A and B are shown apart, each in its own frame.
Chain A
Amino acid sequence: MAVVAVLVRRPLEQVGNVTLLPSPPLKIFYCGKIHRTEFTVLSCVTVREAINQGMDEELERDEKVFLLGEEVAQYDGAYKVSRGLWKKYGDKRIIDTPISEMGFAGIAVGAAMAGLRPICEFMTFNFSMQAIDQVINSAAKTYYMSGGLQSVPIVFRGPNGASAGVAAQHSQCFAAWYGHCPGLKVVSPWSSEDAKGLIKSAIRDNNPVVVLENELMYGVPFELPSEAQSKDFLIPIGKAKIERPGTHVTIVAHSRPVGHCLEAATVLSKEGIECEVINLRTIRPMDIETIEASVMKTNHLVTVEGGWPQFGVGAEICARIMEGPAFNFLDAPAVRVTGADVPMPYAKILEDNSVPQVKDIIFAIKKTLNI
């Protein structure tokens, strides 16, 4: 069965008494292929289900793990990511909090200091700004300040970055803000495999880990290879993945833009340009070595991210490439594709042009290849 290419908008999903926003039009389904090999059994799982599975498995594995946040329990999660968990684990382990980000983030950090392993959900990372002092000053810095005495095994997770039509205060990307801070680990999953493997690694990590999910990716299904179905499937934090090997240009992205890069790569492949698409997976500690090795092969670099350009993830990648062995292999300056340098506007035409689109990525690639 061939890959089904769908250009229609998905219908509105009615879940309970909540209407979920439609995902944007999908050009390519990542599911639908059936592999018939002896050893590989594939299943189609959405990013939402993958995170749910990951949390469920870790809650089952270690009774010190618990989840707290707004609407995570009885509402099944504002975006239904924690669906079914409260029913299974009860009030003690899945805790609905009042609208008190600074308070409940601090409570989560304190619980982690005292030996539990909390997962603290921010309904979106925009609201984490209210609690950012607890994330940085109470969680990230503590192991260092205490000379190695006090660890903080906590996960902060939630949707990050642009959504659809939610306007300026609900669309900010925090990858650069959190990626800036020593003591934190910051991951940004794209696919279901990423989401499951990274949330499990984050929960098992003895350090504060920020998991930047993406609301528009929650409903996207992906194939989960059989290894990813194991309860001990982990993706190492700090390692990027080459999603698509190529020879002419290196494209580095994280989160939803990875999908756009793969689309751009498919289009360009027809013109004979083979892009190597790297899924960063981890913002901090960044796997610059994988990017360097790729650039030393392709001689061209384009970074793609949803966040603002100034002081962003792409800026950091470019700076590090300049400082390392890959600089001498560049045939053209590295190029960044980012969100527009504006607070996110509401009107659709404005919003669409404030985030990197496939055409913008293709344009940037052709520019750097001088085509």
Chain B
Amino acid sequence: MKKMLTAAVSRVLSGVTQKPASRVLAASCKYSNNATFEIKKCDLYRLEEGPPVTTVLTREDGLRYYKMMQTVRRMELKADQLYKQKFIRGFCHLCDGQEACCVGLEAGINPTDHVITSYRAHGFSYTRGLAVRSILAELTGRRGGCAKGKGGSMHMYAKNFYGGNGIVGAQGPLGAGVALACKYKGNNEVCLTLYGDGAANQGQISEAYNMAALWHLPCVFICENNRYGMGTSVERAAANTDYYKRGNFIPGLRVDGMDILCVREATKFAADYCRSGKGPILMELLTYRYHGHSMSDPGISYRTREEIQSVRSKSDPIMLLKDKMVNNKLASVEELKEIDVEVRKEIDDAAQFAMTDPEPPLEELGHHIYSSNPPFDIRGANQWIKFQSIS
């Protein structure tokens, strides 16, 4: 009976569209609708209270988070593969290991809120709404890429997602500016402004802290601390490695960035804080990247394989969520394996597209120089080569 039911469920789930009715049917048979979890208390700075230490995870949310994290994971691993096959060129900064950050943050805000981050942006590009195929095709520089092949890994944009920024720390003031726009318009939206442990030492981040605090901007500064700024560990880069305190006059909290529920609750707390008009807040997410800084960095000259393996076996964010769900009867191992199969297929299809979609036409080289402009000519490599520029 159980096998028949599982088979029926997997047939249903293997279709492109989910059929909630069948899931509910399945759920009522063997799964709980939700479960309550205790989560780690966050270290607080200049805050009387922090996020709650318990939270409820519904089955539906859990499955969604699992699928999203697995999608980001597999997408990044596929990017690794495509890079080694030379389909992807230049810089490629992967975020596998940090999935709980991008998925957890998205779970704590609304689609109408805003996100800006650094060049390690593929995960956020996905959680902010870009399709995997448009991300991979952008990485391979094809016309079906989300930026039409013009941007590449570090310059992917979506609605309320401002990239993807190549210059370390530049996104700090940019995010504060987005928050200023939110306050100016009075729309109760917030901006999540992410940067890494390396970027935290940029002067412009301090300038952004100052103005955000001065003007009470609804900006959640988020330091994604994965312990290494390229090859430099935090101890070698920062006189003060308590990044959640680095905002000085800005309250902060330090969050377990490998536990998606922790990240979600902390994000909700931080976003609410900003929405109440109290000004900016700072979140430090303690996380880890399995890959090196980028594809040209093996990632083992400044850290040990043992360390990487230890994080993988004890703190992998997908594993942690899976264990939570299975142990609390929110899902079965088989069901999650079905999702894995689904995700693999989606990624493989997307990769196929990314490898076969044609490159952007040469005639479009000059496009998108100016917005809302009548067409004009762009000079090419010599004075006789001209490209038309259309907005």
Q: Is A353 an interface residue (CB 8 A)?
A: no
Question: Bound complex: CA of A66 vs CA of B215, how far in Å?
Answer: 15
Q: Is A183 an interface residue (CB 8 A)?
A: yes
Q: Which of B176-184, B256-264, B299-307 contacts A (4 or more CB under 8 A)?
A: B176-184
Among residues of B, the one whose C-beta sits closest to the C-beta of A141 is B155
B277 to chain A, nearest CB (A): 14
Interface residues of B in 156-194 (CB under 8 A from A): 157-158, 162-163, 165-167, 170, 172-182, 184-185, 191
B359 to chain A, nearest CB (A): 13
From known contacts A106-B173, A113-B174, A147-B150, infer whether A100 and B211 are also in contact, taking CB-CB under 8 Å.
yes
Name B211's contact: one of A92, A104, A144 (CB within 8 Å): A104
From known contacts A145-B151, A183-B369, infer whether A103 and B207 are also in contact, taking CB-CB under 8 Å.
yes
From known contacts A100-B210, A110-B116, A148-B391, infer whether A138 and B372 are also in contact, taking CB-CB under 8 Å.
no
Q: Is A17 an interface residue (CB 8 A)?
A: no
Q: Is the CB of A98 within 8 A of B170?
A: no
Question: Bound complex: CA of A113 vs CA of B165, how far in Å?
Answer: 13
Q: Is B148 an interface residue (CB 8 A)?
A: yes
Name A107's contact: one of B146, B157, B162, B177 (CB within 8 Å): B177
Name A114's contact: one of B163, B182, B370 (CB within 8 Å): B182
Q: Is the CB of B184 within 8 A of A116?
A: yes
Question: Bound complex: CA of A138 vs CA of B116, how far in Å?
Answer: 12
Q: Is the CB of B173 within 8 A of A103?
A: yes
Q: Is the CB of B176 within 8 A of A107?
A: yes
From known contacts A110-B116, A145-B151, infer whether A103 and B204 are also in contact, taking CB-CB under 8 Å.
yes
Interface residues of A in 134-187 (CB under 8 A from B): 134, 137-138, 143-151, 153, 182-183, 185
Question: Bound complex: CA of A43 vs CA of B197, how far in Å?
Answer: 58
Q: Is A245 an interface residue (CB 8 A)?
A: no
Q: Is the CB of A147 within 8 A of B148?
A: yes
Residues of B close to A97: CB separation below 8 A = 211
Q: Is B249 an interface residue (CB 8 A)?
A: no
Among residues of A, the one whose C-beta sits closest to the C-beta of B206 is A103
Among residues of A, the one whose C-beta sits closest to the C-beta of B208 is A103
From known contacts A109-B174, A143-B370, infer whether A148 and B203 are also in contact, taking CB-CB under 8 Å.
no
Q: Is the CB of B148 within 8 A of A110?
A: no
Interface size in chain A (residues, C-beta < 8 A): 43
Residues of B close to A106: CB separation below 8 A = 170, 172-174, 176-177, 204, 207-208
Question: Bound complex: CA of A150 vs CA of B172, how far in Å?
Answer: 18
From known contacts A106-B173, A137-B170, infer whether A113 and B371 are also in contact, taking CB-CB under 8 Å.
no
Q: Is B89 an interface residue (CB 8 A)?
A: no
Q: Is the CB of B184 within 8 A of A147?
A: no
Apart from the given pairs A102-B204, A151-B372, A207-B370, 13 other A-B contacts in the complex at a CB distance below 8 Å:
A98-B210, A104-B211, A107-B173, A107-B177, A110-B181, A110-B191, A111-B177, A116-B184, A137-B167, A138-B165, A143-B368, A146-B150, A207-B372
Residues of A within 8 A of B (CB): 66, 92, 95, 97-98, 100, 102-116, 133-134, 137-138, 143-151, 153, 182-183, 185, 205-207, 285, 323
Residues of B within 8 A of A (CB): 114, 116, 145-151, 155, 157-158, 162-163, 165-167, 170, 172-182, 184-185, 191, 203-204, 207-208, 210-211, 214-215, 367-373, 376, 378, 383, 391
7 closest Cβ contacts across the A-B interface? A110-B177, A106-B173, A103-B207, A147-B148, A114-B181, A110-B174, A147-B147
List 9 A-B residue pairs with CB atoms under 8 Å apart, sorted by A's residue number: A95-B215, A102-B203, A106-B172, A134-B173, A137-B167, A138-B167, A143-B371, A149-B147, A150-B162
